[in-house]
Amino acid sequence: MSATPPGRTLLDLVAVMDRLRSPGGCPWDVQQTHESLLRYLVEESYEVVDAVETGTREELRDELGDLLLQVVFHARVAQEDPEEPFDIDDVAAAIVAKLERRHPHVFAGEAVAADLQAGWDAIKATEKTRESVLDGIPLQLPALARADKVLGRLQRNGLDGTTQAEAGEERAGEERAGEERAGEERIGEELLALVRRAHAAGVDPEAALRTATRRLETAAREAERAG
């Protein structure tokens, strides 16, 4: 008797979602749209991040399940579109094709590129027509994460000419001219300089800030208990 293949239970999740969304299912689930579900997609994504950084293995498993539900839910909603429907199989087929296309060194017998990131960028460029190397970076990303993404794209394409020394000189110049510039603009430039330093050091600025904030929270809670 052969073992159950990995992924078999995913079919059960698809079936449960189908029942919830179909006549006789859950009225709340039936009312949802792609737009109404966005807040839950964002929330569940951040709960996965929190589980990875501070949670237990059980919490991570549960949060990944909640996030997976959002993908299945969106696919079920999309299935009902009268003009351009697609379902969970179309979603899976698209990502399978993308993974195989973007890993020719694994699936097409090509040699491993010296710079895998540059190779991926080149493949992406053939997939989508974009006017700028910055196209496709979501505006909704948290500010620090988006700045890190922009800097990464620019540097990989030789478009960020600011060196670390120049960045330091910029910060010094900004400090000298601080009173002459708007506070928001000055702070924004200082934050961008920090993101540039984090990017150069291979540090995720969002994760670094979350870690520092958690340390602050822990210290504050201990101080409250001590008081």
Question: For the chain, which residues make up each domain, given as ranges?
Answer: 7-89, 96-129, 143-226
User: What confidence score (pLDDT) does residue 18 get?
Assistant: 97
Q: How far apart are the C-alpha atoms of 8 and 178, rounded to whole Å?
A: 60
CB count in 10 Å sphere of residue 145: 17
CA angle at 65 for the pair 55 and 99, rounded to the nearest 5° = 105
pTM exceeding the 0.85 threshold for the entire prediction: no
Phi-psi region of 7 (alpha: psi -120 to 50; beta: other; left: phi over 0): left
Q: In b/e form, how buried is each residue of 201-213, taking b as 16+ CB within 10 angstroms?
A: eeeebbeeebeee
Q: What is the mean pLDDT of the chain?
A: 86
Q: What CATH number does domain 7-89 carry, 3.40.50.300, 1.10.287.1080, 3.40.50.2000, 3.40.50.720?
A: 1.10.287.1080
Distance CA 49, CA 54 (A): 9
When mean pLDDT is compared across 53-57, 118-122, 172-176, 221-225, the lowest value belongs to 172-176
Q: How far apart are CA 82 and CA 66, in angstroms?
A: 27
pLDDT at 165 over 70: no
